[in-house]
Amino acid sequence: MEDVVIRTLEKVQLRDPVLIEGLPGVGNVGKLAADYLRDQLKAKPLATIYSKFFPPQVYVSEEGIIRLVSNDLHYWKGPASSPRDVLVLGGDYQGISPEGQYEITQRVLDYCHDLGVREVFTLAGFAQGRVVDEPRVLGAATNAQLVETMKKFGVVFSRNDPGGGLIGASGLFLGLGRLFGMEGVCLMGETSGYFVDPRSAEAVLKVLSKILHIDVDFTALEAKAHEVDRIAQKIHEAEGRSTEGTPSSGPTPREDLGYIG
């Protein structure tokens, strides 16, 4: 089979379309943001992407229906007043090998280039390794002018972050995109890296919606963020209770031993 199979579901003409990529990754920030945008815009399915570089896996719906793992392109035609249409790339997995990452990204970029895409926004999480109460949105871009533009939208360009660069689809869509003559920005929402993080996704999407002049209703995403907060709080409390009565496995036992004497 072809390494990457792209099945077009509908032929469309798009006006200067911008590609938004959000695949599973750190805190699932990119995927949460892209899926939410797709749902809010009621974007329509355009193409399904299958690949031997995804796991050999099918998902089963609650009704018992099977679906092969994939990535998916949805499109949104803005109102006549809006200058450009939007493509959203989401999916179940990133490619599971380095070669797979390159192959899938290259094929999707090629496909999107044919649809007229010249600009890409990739959405991702940036793991801080600590709880982040008010996530900032960090950025990286393909040229200096985009960096300046992004700063006006509150995107933070940090001298040291991300120090080791970006690994995976969010970096590769920009890095390989340049070989297709595309420019682009990676928007990274700060996140702990320990949980899925709708609040970080919201921060990213708020910046993106301003950049693209799209109105997004954040009610449902905020509800999801509160739900995650609530669960995290419960876990926190449960941990507190469970350690109250029982001494931890630290120095305490030795103190107990001390009492024996």
Residues that bind its own copies in the complex, under the rule CB under 8 A: 1, 5, 7, 50-60, 62-69, 95-99, 101-103, 105-107, 139-144, 147, 157, 159-160, 162, 165-169, 171-172, 174-176, 178-179, 186
Nearer to its own copies (CB atom), residue 36 or residue 93: 93
Torsion of the alpha carbons at 200, 205, 208 and 214, rounded to the nearest 10: -160
Considering the complex, what minimum distance in angstroms separates the CB of residue 50 from its own copies? 7
Considering the complex, what minimum distance in angstroms separates the CB of residue 252 from its own copies? 19
Residue in 103, 92, 78 with CA at minimum distance from that of residue 15: 78
Instruction: Say if CB 141 and CB 186 are below 8 A apart.
Output: yes
To the nearest 10 degrees (0 to 180), the angle between helices 219-245 and 29-41 is 150
Give residue for tokens 């599971």.
96
Considering the complex, what minimum distance in angstroms separates the CB of residue 68 from its own copies? 3
Q: Cα–Cα distance between 39 and 246 in angstroms, integer?
A: 47
Give residue for tokens 């926190």.
236
Nearer to its own copies (CB atom), residue 30 or residue 171: 171
Considering the complex, what minimum distance in angstroms separates the CB of residue 59 from its own copies? 4
Q: Cα–Cα distance between 72 and 92 in angstroms, integer?
A: 9
Residue in 186, 105, 90 with CA at minimum distance from that of residue 140: 186
Instruction: Say if CB 131 and CB 192 are below 8 A apart.
Output: yes
Considering the complex, what minimum distance in angstroms separates the CB of residue 182 from its own copies? 12
Nearer to its own copies (CB atom), residue 54 or residue 75: 54
Nearer to its own copies (CB atom), residue 14 or residue 172: 172
Considering the complex, what minimum distance in angstroms separates the CB of residue 118 from its own copies? 16
End-to-end CA distance of the chain: 74
Residue in 18, 6, 257, 2 with CA at minimum distance from that of residue 116: 18
Nearer to its own copies (CB atom), residue 58 or residue 220: 58
Nearer to its own copies (CB atom), residue 63 or residue 256: 63
Considering the complex, what minimum distance in angstroms separates the CB of residue 41 from its own copies? 27
Nearer to its own copies (CB atom), residue 1 or residue 257: 1
Indicate the DSSP class of residue 119: E
